[in-house]
Amino acid sequence: MSDPWQECMEHCVEVAKQAGKVIREALEGDIAVMHKSSQVDLVTETDQRVEKLIISSIRSKFPSHSFIGEESVAAGESSVLTDDPTWIIDPIDGTTNFVHRFPFVAVSIGFTVKKEIIFGVVYSCIEDKMYTARKGKGAFCNGVPIKVSGQEDLERCLVLTEVAFKNEPQHFDTLMANLRRIVSIPVHGIRSPGSAAVNMCMVASGSADAYYHMGIHCWDMAGGAVLVTEAGGVVLDVSGGPFDLMSRRLIAAGSRAVAERLAGYVAKFPVGRDDDDADGS
Residues serving a catalytic function are 70, 90, 92-93, 95, 220
Nearer to ligand IPD, 178 or 195 (CB): 195
Q: Least distance (Å) from ligand IPD to the CB of residue 66?
A: 20
160 scored as a contact of ligand IPD (CB under 6 A):
no
Q: Determine, following the binding rule CB under 6 A, whether residue 216 of this chain makes contact with ligand IPD.
A: yes
Q: Are 187 and 158 in contact (CB under 8 A)?
A: yes
Task: Show the site string, 218-257: x = touches ligand IPD by CB under 6 A, - = not.
Answer: --x-------------------------------------
Helix (H) or strand (E) holding 189: strand 189-191
For 215, other C-beta atoms within 10 Å of its C-beta total: 16
Judged by CB under 6 A, the stretch of 10-18, 53-61, 194-202, 251-259 that binds ligand IPD is 194-202
Give the per-residue SS3 of 8-70.
Answer: HHHHHHHHHHHHHHHHHHHCCCCCCEEECCCCCCEEEHHHHHHHHHHHHHHHHHCCCCEEEEH
Contacts to ligand IPD from residues 45-104, by CB under 6 A: 70, 90, 92-95
Binding residues for ligand IPD, total number by CB under 6 A: 14
Q: Is 196 in the site for ligand IPD (CB under 6 A)?
A: yes
* Residues 141, 200 contacting (CB under 8 angstroms): no
Residue 15: phi and psi, rounded to 5, are: -70, -30
Q: Convert 69-89 to b/e letters by CB count within 10 Å (16 or more is b).
A: bbbbbbeeeebbbeeebbbbb
Q: Tell me whether residue 41 or residue 260 sits nearer to ligand IPD (CB atom).
A: 41
Binding residues for ligand IPD restricted to 102-141, rule: CB under 6 A: none
CB of 150 to ligand IPD, least distance (A): 24
Residue closer to ligand IPD (CB basis): 20 or 94: 94
Closest by CA position to 235, among listed 246, 224, 98:
224
**Single-letter code of the amino acid located at 86:** T
Positions that interact with ligand IPD (CB under 6 A): 70, 90, 92-95, 162, 164, 194-196, 215-216, 220
